[in-house]
Amino acid sequence: MRRSHVTTVSLLVALALAACTNAKDVLEPSAITPPATSTQALPATQGNTAAAAPAPAVPATTPLTPAQSAAILSKTRLQIAPIVGASVEAATPLTAELQTRARQRGITLAGSADQTATHVLKGYFSAISEGKDTTVIYVWDVYDPTGNRLHRINGQLKAPSANGGDSWKAVAPATMQAIADQTIDQFAAWLGGKAG
């Protein structure tokens, strides 16, 4: 019964965070800056034309080759919006790992003032400590440059608390780095899947 209550509360917190519009506790991921070398920008209307006309790409039943997936990722310019809910201490390893993992996957990151972003990633976080464990609940919404939500990535990660007290102080940097890795991997998989 207690476990069911905790799960219900966790889900309610995640839903509340997803609807959150309060600017309190928002972190501008200043660790993510535009790369020194920039690739050619995609037109701002690409998302609209892709929806209006069928993609001349590979049929949906044919899996993408690694070269096709790499081409899709290399054209992506991802902007990370301010993160809601996580403390600065918890979000710092998250933003650093988002940058590292995106670069490993061939995704270019766009700065907050960059008008050439093809996708915007907005994250909402909550941490709940119970006993010696802390569960981090996360929701990422993927938007096009005009603000249309395209996709949602969500989940939770339970890990031993780094120390007691405040839930966010109990979250180890490795937990936030693992969430960043999962997020970029799921974003890349979604991009590859929707292109087919």
pLDDT recorded at residue 75: 82
pLDDT recorded at residue 65: 64
Does the pTM surpass 0.95? The reply is no
Query: Could you give the domains of the chain?
Result: 2-34+45-53+62-195 (3.40.50)
Q: Where are the beta strands (DSSP E) in the chain?
A: 26-27, 77-80, 83-84, 108-110, 119-130, 133-143, 149-160
pLDDT recorded at residue 35: 36
Which amino acid is located at 172 in the chain?
A
Q: CB-based burial of residue 71 (10 Å sphere; 0-12 exposed, 13-18 middle, 19+ buried)? A: middle
pLDDT recorded at residue 62: 58
- Which of 177, 172, 175, 136 is CA-nearest to residue 154? 136
What pLDDT tens digit does each residue of the chain (196 aa) get?
555 544 444 544 444 444 444 333 344 443 333 333 333 333 333 333 334 444 444 444 455 666 665 666 768 889 999 999 999 999 999 999 999 999 998 899 998 888 889 999 999 999 998 888 999 999 999 999 999 999 999 999 998 887 666 789 889 999 999 999 999 999 999 988 764 4
